[in-house]
């Protein structure tokens, strides 16, 4: 059974979604992210992907109080990402209640620091964020595309101890046009034991079934829930 991981993206301590990572295409769905998290918990969800979009832009952790609030008032296992660049950012995230953190830009810009986190906390608590645009890694809240090819990038960190990867196809994120199933198949063909977390484009419960049939271990999604295309009852079938 594929693992279901709803996402809550945070700007100004509110639950929002962007389209294709564009901060100008922001829609606020709820003023209180805790209320959303409790709805997921009530539906039987165990995991939550919490993204500090302010932090991603500012290049340091910003919305840790939101993380702390959700961590203390729910039983959800939270992975947290967005702007984590230093050991201090990581300390704040874990002390605020994150069970895991996701590092994307840091893995590209400062791989030595990211590798030190893997060495200290292990591949179970440090997730690689591999966000791609046209097959190339994108960083900085998706504001910058690099020359790094996606699949070799993943492989390099897998050799260094990473076991979990969130892979987002930016072109599909927030567009409700379906996930990049073929891309995930390519990654899993190369690294079959990888705990690959698909992200971006999920528009319906059928998309989740399609990812499950492709052998994808886990999926992150948000906009499809907030736009009413996937109901909490739909999710109960997976939990």
- Indicate which residues carry an active-site annotation: 9, 131
Which element (helix H / strand E) includes 29?
strand 22-30
Residues 6+ apart with CB under 8 A from 112: none
Dist. CA 215–CA 235, nearest whole Å: 18
Provide φ and ψ at 76, rounded to 5°: -70, 140
Q: Is 47 in contact with 103 (CB distance < 8 Å)?
A: no
Provide φ and ψ at 174, rounded to 5°: 75, 5
Torsion of the alpha carbons at 202, 239, 69 and 102, rounded to the nearest 10: -50
Q: Which is nearest to 13 in space by CA: 73, 75, 59, 68?
A: 68
Dist. CA 219–CA 199, nearest whole Å: 6
């Amino acid at each position: 059974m594929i693992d279901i991981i709803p996402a809550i993206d945070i700007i100004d301590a509110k639950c929002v979604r962007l389209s294709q990572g564009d901060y100008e295409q922001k829609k606020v769905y709820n003023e209180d992210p805790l209320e959303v998290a409790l709805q997921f918990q009530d539906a039987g969800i165990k995991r939550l992907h919490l993204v500090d979009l302010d932090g991603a832009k500012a290049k340091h952790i910003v919305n840790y109080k939101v993380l702390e609030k959700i961590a203390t008032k729910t039983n959800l296992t939270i992975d947290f990402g967005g702007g984590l660049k230093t050991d201090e950012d990581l300390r704040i995230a874990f002390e605020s209640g994150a069970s895991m953190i996701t590092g994307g830009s840091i893995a590209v810009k400062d791989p030595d620091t990211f590798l030190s986190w893997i060495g200290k906390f292990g591949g179970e608590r440090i997730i690689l964020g591999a966000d791609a645009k046209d097959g190339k890694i994108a960083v900085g809240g998706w504001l910058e595309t690099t020359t790094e090819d996606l699949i070799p990038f993943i492989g390099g960190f897998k050799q260094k101890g990473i076991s979990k990867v969130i892979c987002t196809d930016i072109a599909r994120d927030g567009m409700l046009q379906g996930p990049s199933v073929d891309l995930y198949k390519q990654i899993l063909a190369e690294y079959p034991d990888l705990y690959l977390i698909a992200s971006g484009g999920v528009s319906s419960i059928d998309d989740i079934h399609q990812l499950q049939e492709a052998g994808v271990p886990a999926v992150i999604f948000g906009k499809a829930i907030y736009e009413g295309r996937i109901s909490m009852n739909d999710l109960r079938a997976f939990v």
